Structure 1
């Protein structure tokens, strides 16, 4: 495991060099946080208790949402975009020659990226929001630990989805169309636009059952203490999707490797 730890550390250092981009990104998330707060205050002002959230929950959701967008990779992430490009260009063959597992290699790269984004961009919008609004925070050490685990699991679920999208390039001419579709699904089903708890009827049930819900909505609900089945149920839901995505990712990697070997003679 030493090699994968080294990859994650180097990835962290790599992304830490983009200081201006990080600061501008944090500023952008903060601006959008205030915009979303205006929308949410209007919505919850006309519908108090919507989705089981009070106004403070809704505002806390906004700032956690803005802080987690980049660490979780809701809009995609540089690491998996690079993987998709390497598949398109054929450079993925070099990756397959390495004495490491392809999925673990890129998971380590993404872990380093996510750790830096979480430290550098995750807290800034939340801090600004807490100075302006009355936000909710975990009330115990156990809840803080559960939040840390839920966020980690959310990043892993997101990586699993993005990894499969990148590897789709082995079977289609260009995976960028799939990347665009993945972005739309991620925005709608993760809670990046509205909390999934406000979705009515069967639409809400479907949205909350998708893997995208495990990336953003579930960690935020753990923070708010709003999980219907408790924290254990929320983490089990995330673990289920991690297991499913890892299994599919392993199978996809296996068949993609065979395709490269067969294509190469």
Structure 2
């Protein structure tokens, strides 16, 4: 939490400095909005697991995934439920204190109404599902390759850049922003940050949520396809 907060200060000063140097705003972000972007981002950094987990990949490599296939619940559902639980406790124990620190020391913009708060929290939940689903597919590559650390590293770097972890996606050049919008990565962080910072409100919130839901469904379905193909490919001790 301490490290999270320190990086929050650094990011806050850098991005506010950029907005101040540019004039009133950049890409729809003024100083309070960009501060909300920073501190909500720090609060969600642990809850939305952009880095993914090695557990599934390790279980595939060891053959323990065969035990998961014997259980009554689909492995994807089991691991998603665990990730949602992890995200909830992390948001409370790590994210909320960081956000309170930012709120006490900076002038943050807030969601304009109760509906924005509720839909913003819903957006966080969908973001957790999208991030999990993407990293789950990456882990399942272990069915076909011996080591996925390189693939996971590429995923982490790409996700961090295009999801709005470093700077807001609306600050990208037009061509790069278009590329980002055709990927699932903004649905992992940028979309909930836009709602919770108040940059997106009214009817635009629903289109933002719809985009997240589409990516969540697509990645969950893709994960099921890869999981079933991997199951047919799996061999444990000659079986």
TM-score by shorter chain over 0.5: yes
Match for 2:187 among 194, 205, 214?
A: 214
Which residue pairs with 1:58 in the alignment? 34
Is residue 33–residue 198 contact of structure 2 (8 Å, CA) maintained in 1? no
Tell me the equivalent position of 1:37: 12
> What residue ranges of structure 1 are gaps of 5+ in the alignment?
1-25
Q: Counterpart of 2:216?
A: 242
**What is the aligned-residue RMSD (CA, Å)?**
1.5
Bigger mean CA deviation after superposition, 238-247 or 85-94: 85-94
After TM superposition, give the deviation of residue 205 of structure 1 in Å: 1.4
Deviation digits for residues 104-124 of structure 1, max 9, x if unmatched? 011011111111111111111
Runs of 4 or more, structure 1, over 4 Å off, are: 261-264
Partner in structure 2 of residue 205 of structure 1:
178
> Would you say 1:72 and 2:48 are equivalent positions?
yes
In 1, Cα distance between equivalents of 2:238 and 2:47: 37
Q: TM-score, normalised by structure 1?
A: 0.86
Aligned to 2:115: 142
- Where structure 2 has 5 or more consecutive residues not aligned to the other structure, the ranges are none
Q: Deviations over 1:76-125 (max 9, x none)?
A: 3xxx3111111122221121121220100110111111111111111111
The alpha-carbon deviation at position 208 of structure 1 amounts to 2.7
CA distance in 2, matches of 1:253, 1:160: 12
Q: Does 1:259 align with 2:230?
A: no
- TM superposition shift of 1:35: 0.7
The structure with more helix, counted as a fraction of residues: 1
- Of 83, 87, 112, the match for 1:110: 83
Higher relative contact order, chain-length normalized (CA < 8 Å, sep 6+): 2
